[in-house]
Amino acid sequence: MTRVDTWDGAMRLALTEARTALAGDDVPVGAVVLDADGTVIGTGRNTREAEGDPTGHAEVVALRAAAAARGEWRLTGCTLVVTLEPCTMCAGALVLARVDRLVFGAYDDQLGAVGSLWDVVRDRRLNHRPEVVAGVLAAESTALLDTFFARHR
């Protein structure tokens, strides 16, 4: 099992997942879930195009893998690291999974739900609010996305 000691190290693993999504012509977003010790217990990348699944977002794929590895849906003590600010679906999923911390790279001005358009994860009406660490290796995440969208315009 892979263990990481820094947010940059974890984000580099997520960027590797994002590049794999790019190779499959999916929007290059990657995610990893770390347990409390920093061990990777789930990985994911966008699979919407590859699998024809509207919920095939990197975060959801990684959360499912982590829950399977743990044998339960509660991911208390875990950190979700993702290359792009989560959308409302993914922000809701990580709140419902009880993830303790979210680390993300690039902001998403069009769909972001962790401060850009909405702030689902900090909504005081919810019973769980993870810590947020934003902007980790944001330039690298943004460059990957910019390359993808330039090709598709």
Contact by Cβ (8 Å): 47, 59: no
CA-to-CA distance for 61 and 42, rounded, in angstroms?
A: 8
* Whether 59 is catalytic: yes
Annotated catalytic residue within 17, 49, 51, 59: 59
Buried b / exposed e across 118-137, counting CB within 10 Å, b at 16+? Answer: eebbeeeeeeeebeeebebb
The annotation status of 78 as a binding-site residue, yes or no, is no
Binding residues for Zn(2+): 57, 87, 90
Instruction: Report the catalytic residues.
Output: 59
